[in-house]
Structure 1
Amino acid sequence: MTLDTALIGEKVEQARRAVAEGDCDAWLVFCRETDETAEPTLPYVLGFDVVWPTAVVVGPDESTVVLGRHDAPNAERLDVHEVRPYDESMETALRETLAEIGAETVAVNYDRDDSAADGLTVGLYRRLQDLLPEREFVSAGEVVRRVRGLKSATELDRIRAAAETTVDLLGTAATAWTPETTEREIVADLHDRLRARDLGTAWAWDYCPTVHLGGESDVGHTLPGDHTLGQGELFHVDFGVRQDGYAADLQRLWVRGEPSPGLESVFEDVRAAIDAGHERLAAGVPGHEVDAAARETLIDRGHPAFQHAFGHQVGRVAHDGGTLLGPEWERYGDAPRGEVRAGEIYTLELGVETEWGYVGQEEMVRVTESGPEWIVPPQTALNRL
């Protein structure tokens, strides 16, 4: 096992700042049997799976991990936390840790709307109440959103590399295409290339990449079929690799032969809507306002509204939690009301179904204090096959 010590050091330092600037006295990540039930934040603060009940306690100035004795050597190798091993019970060590930092209000990993901050199971929550009946527990959602959303220098480098690899592999898929190539064959070819480079996918393997050839192909996160590409039709692909623990999420388009004026016009409308969202995206802006800018532009150009959020954060997975660039629909809870922060990475995505195929575009941007910057160059014109 290789421990990602530099990255964990960066993220734990961010976590300490988040606690110091927040409304809690400590952040407590409580987990067990993480190979069976993963804790989404554990890769940021520990970096390896545990079996026994384990507590990572992050205060404003220091952090401690209380864990089973046989896991302790791995934690000590990190050289990030104070390590307190136990054999029969963690109760004494955990109580002492919280008492030493004066932690009365403790943030734990539950959240109504953010799956990336909701790793604590009901059973573990009740066990924690039994261990610490005198403590006040609050949601760690805000802490997690800062730690997970604000990308460190190492994370930015890895996400950019994953995006560049994704673009490279998409180029090879287009080069390998022939008029007889089916969706199924394109997916199989990309999967073979991923295996050869020991890379994973940014979402479920069976659905990544998602490939649509022409107007008869069903749009969405669909399995590949036997469609081929007709003259003037679109080759659309939604794809992202997972590389060195981090993901990318991009959509690209090719047209067979010369596009019709109608197709060119729709592509321009889609790009205009993405550019409108890109222009509105800035630190401090609520996510739903970014979505509205793109949505209204597309509707004003005569197209139906897309039935999904305009953008989501990207990190260890394609959908990385936190603030959503989406409409204020019930299904999204409070995620679209969160404010965009400098240091977060988002997708900008939407599309229009047409007779030529799905005109779908998805880009990746990093928010900076001076505005958004593209992770990789955007697609600004239809590619030709």
Structure 2
Amino acid sequence: MKGSSMELVHEKLEQAKILMQKYGIDTWLILTRESSDPALPLLVGVRSVHQAAIFLRSSGEHTVLASQSDSGTYKATGLFSVVRTYETSIESLFKSTWSELQIQKVALNISEGDHLCDGLTLGQYMWLEKITGKENLQKVEISSEDILNELRSVKSSTEIETISEAIQLTTDIFESVHRTIKPYMTEKEIGSLFVYEMKSRGVTSGLGAAYDPPLVCAVRHGLAHRKPSSRQVEPGDIVIVDFSLKHNDYVSDIARTFYFLKENEKAAPVEIEKAFQTVHEAITTSIAELIIGKKGYEVDAAGRKVIEEAGYPTIRHSVGHQIGRATHDGGTILGPKRTPARVAVEGVLREGEVYAIEPTVIQDEGLPCMLVEENVVVTDAGPKILSKRQDELWLVKA
């Protein structure tokens, strides 16, 4: 692994040790094959081809059981006190290690509500039951969801630095495209500008395949999570671009809105400018609510209120979500309160969480729509905006 990647994994494992002590868990077991568990890159940073058993310990003395071909990779990380190797079957080695460790409470990556915390496959869980005994396992097992949720959400200093770099690259690309974009280009052609800029900087898309274009939607052609179309953008169009970029395994998530001026226009029509200013105010209000201890639905309510009081339909999605290794990185969501309770929006904000803030104006029948998205980190001194804010509607001359 590269130096920065190694530093990051060491930070996260130290954080995991502290969390295990906090929750009274002596062992966190990750069973993986073909890198099946999404927690593996965060905690270990290497790809395991064959079946591996990773025993993370609250003492910091971690053990891994790996195949002969995989064991060298684990040793090279320097993360494990013990690396044990098997030739054809892991079973006997696993049984002896399980017995030796005298596990009192073991966390498993099982979750009903968060796919990022649900990395233990059914097949491997059934294998674990068979090896340890179903009743014995039930006495000691617990979901790792609380630990893994906090571990993913609360970013280390290296993670925040890497995310900030991704955000800066995203901002640079947006500004470059703004200088290049022209009327009568198709949505696909606009998307290709972003792909060119990613390749020239050695970065990739944060969503989908490596060089997928961002979401590019001329509002007149319909606003949805869709690929850019072959339809042209004309003067008088509002164009929304929602762009997630991946840099060193961490992502940004930023959206900008353009207005294509008609001939002889020097500014956008009043109703379009009003929609932009409403969204800008809603973002400012939402960011001000990003205080440690606030609940997700409280932040959502503040931003949502601005949109509704301006006379627009209520927001169709959440006001914000976390970013990190994924564009939607799990944990607390800044969404509306519901009955029955939605666990993710009941979560509280913690120092080190990074949020994408996106209260929107979305209307049908050709009425103005507006999407602007900013990235913000929660700190003990208050919210810190990581992205360069869009303070005015971006105009494209005829």
Aligned pairs for 1:58-73 within 5 A: 58-62=56-60, 63-73=62-72
- How many angstroms does 1:126 deviate by? 0.9
What's 1:30 paired with? 31
3-state SS of the aligned residue for 1:216?
helix
Q: Would the aligned equivalents of 1:233 and 1:356 in 2 still touch at CA under 8 Å?
A: no
> Distance between the aligned counterparts of 2:15 and 2:389, measured in 1?
30
Aligned pairs for 1:217-256 within 5 A: 217-256=221-260
What's 2:110 paired with? 110
What's 1:340 paired with? 349
> Distance between the aligned counterparts of 2:336 and 2:20, measured in 1?
30
- How many angstroms does 1:92 deviate by? 4.7
What's 2:169 paired with? 165
- Structure 1 pair 163/331, CA: closer, same or farther in 2 (3 Å)? farther
- How many angstroms does 1:318 deviate by? 0.6
2:217 paired residue among 197, 212, 217: 212
1:267 paired residue among 264, 270, 276: 276
- Structure 1 pair 292/101, CA: closer, same or farther in 2 (3 Å)? farther
- How many angstroms does 1:96 deviate by? 4.9
- Structure 1 pair 141/79, CA: closer, same or farther in 2 (3 Å)? same
Q: Would the aligned equivalents of 1:56 and 1:66 in 2 still touch at CA under 8 Å?
A: yes
> Distance between the aligned counterparts of 1:48 and 1:199, measured in 2?
20
- One-letter identity of the residue aligned with 1:74: T
Q: Does 1:376 align with 2:387?
A: yes
3-state SS of the aligned residue for 1:66?
strand
> Distance between the aligned counterparts of 1:89 and 1:353, measured in 2?
56
Q: Would the aligned equivalents of 1:105 and 1:137 in 2 still touch at CA under 8 Å?
A: yes
> Distance between the aligned counterparts of 1:383 and 1:250, measured in 2?
14
Which shows bigger deviation, 144-153 or 349-358? 349-358
After TM superposition, the score normalised by the length of structure 2 is 0.89
- One-letter identity of the residue aligned with 1:191: V
- Structure 1 pair 159/300, CA: closer, same or farther in 2 (3 Å)? same
- How many angstroms does 1:91 deviate by? 3.9
> Distance between the aligned counterparts of 1:125 and 1:296, measured in 2?
45
Aligned pairs for 1:324-339 within 5 A: 324-329=333-338, 333-339=342-348
- Structure 1 pair 330/183, CA: closer, same or farther in 2 (3 Å)? farther
Q: Deviations over 1:320-377 (max 9, x none)?
A: 1111111235799411112111111111112213546531011111011122111122
- How many angstroms does 1:100 deviate by? 5.2
Q: Deviations over 1:50-90 (max 9, x none)?
A: 12221211121222212112211111111111222222443
- How many angstroms does 1:193 deviate by? 2.6
> Distance between the aligned counterparts of 1:95 and 1:166, measured in 2?
49
Q: Would the aligned equivalents of 1:113 and 1:333 in 2 still touch at CA under 8 Å?
A: no
Aligned pairs for 1:292-331 within 5 A: 292-329=301-338
Aligned pairs for 1:156-195 within 5 A: 156-195=160-199
- How many angstroms does 1:165 deviate by? 0.7
Q: Would the aligned equivalents of 1:19 and 1:25 in 2 still touch at CA under 8 Å?
A: yes
- One-letter identity of the residue aligned with 1:8: V
> Distance between the aligned counterparts of 1:191 and 1:331, measured in 2?
42
What's 1:81 paired with? 80
Q: Identity over aligned residues, as a percent? A: 30
Q: Would the aligned equivalents of 2:168 and 2:387 in 1 still touch at CA under 8 Å?
A: yes
Q: Would the aligned equivalents of 1:212 and 1:358 in 2 still touch at CA under 8 Å?
A: no
Q: Would the aligned equivalents of 2:321 and 2:333 in 1 still touch at CA under 8 Å?
A: yes
What's 2:51 paired with? 53
- How many angstroms does 1:208 deviate by? 3.9
Structure 2, unpaired ranges of 5+: 262-266
What's 2:264 paired with? none
Which shows bigger deviation, 221-230 or 91-100? 91-100
> Distance between the aligned counterparts of 2:208 and 2:2, measured in 1?
24
Structure 1, unpaired ranges of 5+: none
> Distance between the aligned counterparts of 2:18 and 2:305, measured in 1?
38
Q: Deviations over 1:15-52 (max 9, x none)?
A: 11110111422211111122xxx311101222222122
